[in-house]
Structures are given as structure tokens and as C-alpha cells.
């Protein structure tokens, strides 16, 4: 069983319960992502400690830095674990959903080099790096590319004065896809758009692409999918196998040989001030986890 201990950054959270649903007071996130997962794991350990009768051997992994690039999972020495499969308690949505298909993510950073000049006295001598970047961005495919591919520019950093034609601008973006070929094509399209704009204006661009995490895909008959589906049915929940556009600790752990499937715990509107979770859903999720551990 695994969950992450960090949340997106926040001030002091004051949880309130209204009609069986836990919210924040409305001015912070709730942090159910991923304290819901921690709560369920601690509850399960308590239940198992008091239980007579057999259950599967259990290992627990609490990670840090999930929201900031899966850094904790990436730092884990998986040789400590005997488990070959497990449950990730870190997905939003109603109980019953499990994430069977997730994308690779490639973040990239580009530096556009123009030429500085005095903006008033001699703008003709300059090559405006911000303008070059802007034209590149306009010609870039961005946002929702297709059902399994997305792309984004998140940060632009230019120079600091208005009286200088900027000679440098830095862009930070990313692309994701559940299909490696599409991801490759998307990265190329973004890079080409910048290169063509640079060429048209006599500027240059250097682009660095990295791999943050790798895609995965569980088949319907994968042992962990079958185990979890059976456990869900045993507590009256119909399993739903869903794809996602996001990454999780699973991307890292699966690549290292532990088939961790993410299951939805009932949290909604995560990373917003409306984040909430029904206590009933927490309990249902805990029952599903327990059923996984005591089934054969």
C-alpha cells in the first residue's frame, strides 16, 4: 500500500464536515490528496493488527515530494520491498475507478537568443527574443492535442527592462502522451515551431528535453487489476478501468518493477479550495483495500 505525505502548498487547513462530507473552510485546499490515502492505510494497519486469521503479507510506502515531480518515489530504493504489486491510494474520483493507463511526461526548457540593442536609440540593431518566442508559441500545437496527448507552456522568463531589446527569453513547457510516438512527434512540433521562428528572425534557440516519468498500461487481466476488481465486487462496487492524463508515484514504481495500481478514494476537486471527500467513500475505499488483503 502506498500514499504520499505531501500536499500542494497551503496555509493552515481547518477541516469541516457538512452532511457527511469533509471540506476545508473554503480558503485552502483540504489535502485529501493525499491524506485520504494515509488515513486508509493507517486504518487498515490497525484493523490487521487486531485481526485473527490470515491475510496477505503487507508492506507500506509513504512517499514525499509527489506533487513536486514524484521526487520521493524516484528516491526510493525498491530493493527494500518484496512486493511485486500493490495499491496506490492516490486517485481522485468515486470509489470503483482504477487507473490502468497513464502517460509519459517530457518537460522541456528552451532558451531563445536574440540580440540586445537600445530600444529607443537603435532598435533596428536588435533581435527581440521575446518576439521570436511569441511567434514560435503561436505556431505551436498546445493544450489538448488528442485523446491521449497534451502539451503546455507554463513559464516564460524574459529580461527586466523596457528600454532594452531583449536578447534572451527562457520558456518552460511540457508534453505528455500515453503513446510514445505521439509524444515524440509533439515534442518535435514544439521544437520546430521555435526553430522556424528563430530562423526567420536571425535568432537561435537551444532546447533541452528531459523525461520526468514513463507511461504504463495495465491489461485487463493483469494480476493486480483482477485482484482489485474482485475486491471491489466483493464489497458491492463495480470496477471501472480508466485512463488518465496525469502522472503519479505509480509511473515511477511500475518502471522499477512493482505493479502499483492507483485506485480512486472519493476525493474530488483536488488542488482547489473546493476539495472534498465523503466519509462514506473513505470507508468504502478502506473496505476495498481490506478485501484485497484478505482475498486469495
Q: Give residues in contact with Zn ion (CB under 5 A).
A: 33-34, 90
Residue among 74, 68, 71, 243 nearest 150 (CA):
243
- Listed in sequence order, the residues at least 6 apart from 181 whose beta carbon sits closer than 8 Å to its beta carbon are none
Q: Of these residues, 34, 66, 174, 281, which one is catalytic?
A: 66
Q: Of these residues, 6, 179, 184, 283, which one is catalytic?
A: 6
Pairing mode, strands 240-243 and 97-102: parallel
Q: Which is nearer to Zn ion, 1 or 165 (CB)?
A: 1
Q: Which is nearer to Zn ion, 2 or 128 (CB)?
A: 2
Nearest-approach distance from CB 66 to Zn ion, in angstroms: 6
Q: Which is nearer to Zn ion, 150 or 248 (CB)?
A: 248
66 labelled catalytic: yes
274 labelled catalytic: no
Nearest-approach distance from CB 23 to Zn ion, in angstroms: 18
Nearest-approach distance from CB 90 to Zn ion, in angstroms: 4
Nearest-approach distance from CB 274 to Zn ion, in angstroms: 16
Question: What angle do the packed helices 129-138 and 180-201 form, to 10 degrees?
Answer: 140
**Contact assessment for residue 163 and residue 118, using Cβ atoms and an 8 Å cutoff:** yes
266: left (phi over 0), alpha (psi -120 to 50) or beta: left
Q: Which is nearer to Zn ion, 90 or 259 (CB)?
A: 90
**Contact assessment for residue 229 and residue 238, using Cβ atoms and an 8 Å cutoff:** no
**Residues with active-site annotation:** 6, 66
Amino acid at each position: 500500500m502506498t500514499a504520499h505525505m505531501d500536499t500542494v502548498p497551503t496555509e493552515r487547513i481547518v477541516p469541516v464536515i457538512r452532511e457527511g462530507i469533509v471540506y476545508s473552510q473554503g480558503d485552502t485546499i483540504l489535502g485529501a490528496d493525499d491524506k485520504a490515502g494515509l488515513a486508509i492505510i493507517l486504518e487498515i494497519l490497525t484493523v490487521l493488527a487486531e485481526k485473527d486469521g490470515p491475510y496477505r503479507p503487507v508492506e507500506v510506502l509513504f512517499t514525499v515530494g509527489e506533487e513536486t515531480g514524484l521526487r520521493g518515489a524516484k528516491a526510493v530504493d525498491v530493493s527494500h520491498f518484496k512486493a511485486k504489486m500493490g495499491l496506490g491510494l492516490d486517485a481522485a474520483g468515486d470509489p470503483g475507478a482504477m487507473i490502468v493507463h497513464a502517460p509519459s511526461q517530457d518537460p522541456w526548457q528552451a532558451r531563445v537568443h536574440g540580440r540586445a540593442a537600445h530600444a529607443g536609440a537603435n532598435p533596428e540593431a536588435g533581435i527581440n527574443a521575446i518576439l521570436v518566442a511569441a511567434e514560435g508559441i503561436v505556431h505551436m500545437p498546445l493544450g489538448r492535442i488528442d485523446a491521449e496527448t497534451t502539451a503546455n507552456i507554463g513559464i516564460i522568463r524574459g529580461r527586466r527592462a523596457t528600454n532594452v531589446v531583449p536578447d534572451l527569453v527562457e520558456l518552460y513547457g511540457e508534453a505528455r502522451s500515453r503513446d510514445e510516438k505521439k509524444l515524440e512527434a509533439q515534442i518535435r512540433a514544439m521544437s520546430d515551431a521555435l526553430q522556424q521562428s528563430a530562423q526567420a528572425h536571425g535568432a537561435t534557440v537551444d532546447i533541452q528535453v528531459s523525461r520526468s516519468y514513463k507511461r504504463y498500461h495495465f491489461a485487463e487481466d493483469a494480476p493486480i487489476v483482477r485482484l482489485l476488481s474482485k475486491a471491489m465486487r466483493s464489497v458491492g462496487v463495480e470496477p471501472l478501468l480508466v485512463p488518465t492524463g496525469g502522472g503519479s508515484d505509480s509511473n515511477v514504481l511500475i518502471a522499477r518493477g512493482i505493479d502499483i495500481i492507483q485506485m480512486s478514494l472519493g476525493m474530488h476537486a483536488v488542488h482547489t479550495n473546493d476539495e472534498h471527500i465523503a466519509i462514506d467513500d473513505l470507508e468504502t475505499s478502506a473496505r476495498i483495500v481490506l478485501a484485497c488483503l484478505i482475498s486469495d
